Amino acid sequence: MAKISKREMNYRIDFTKMTLTMTAEFADRAYDPTTEEYEILTRLQKDFPRLRIVRKTHRSPKTANPAKGLTYERMEKYIRLHENADELLDLFQKVQSAGRGYPYVKAWFVKQFPHYNEVPEFKNGKLRIVEPVEAPNAGEAEELAEIA
């Protein structure tokens, strides 16, 4: 049988935590007594009886979605922080009442407040005045919804 590198077999041993983490593919192959994965697993279990076996589930995304958890309520709270909150809230209500759904409203919000997920700088207890932007057209809304 040809030798397979540890990287190709998709497993990792952490001796400080005494864990063997393996992918589903490695685990499936380890059920077959004729495979090298089976031999590796049984040898490790014999040599290290306290070794805990862990199946790797999924990889977390490298970048978090900045718009995750962005609700209408949170949008409104953020808008209320601005000096010209009344004007911005009116526009927010108009965008909501356009009846085009959450992705459209979110696209407008991200376009209006591109830095909403950063730590804001306050002046006299309020955020700076923000010039209102027009609601995005259908193409822009789809494009912004994919980004956000």
Which pLDDT value is given to residue 7? 46
SS3 82: strand
Q: Say what the pLDDT of residue 97 is.
A: 87
The β-bridge partners of 12 are: 21
Residue stretches of the chain with pLDDT short of 50: 1-2, 6-7, 147-148
Give me the pLDDT at residue 5, please. Answer: 52
Q: Are 133 and 112 within 8 A, CB to CB?
A: yes
137-140 LR contacts (CB < 8 Å, sep 24+) = 140/107, 140/111
- At 136, list the tokens: 């995005």
Rounded distance between C-alpha atoms, residue 18 and residue 68, angstroms: 35
Supply the pLDDT for residue 68.
Answer: 78
What pLDDT score does 67 carry?
A: 73
pLDDT reported for residue 138: 58
Q: Which two tokens stand for residue 37?
A: 């994965």
Instruction: Give this prediction's pTM.
Output: 0.48
* CA 110, 111, 112, 118 torsion-angle sign: positive
The residues, any chain, with a CB within 8 Å of residue 136's CB and separated by 6 or more, are 104, 107, 108, 111, 144
Type of residue numbered 40: I
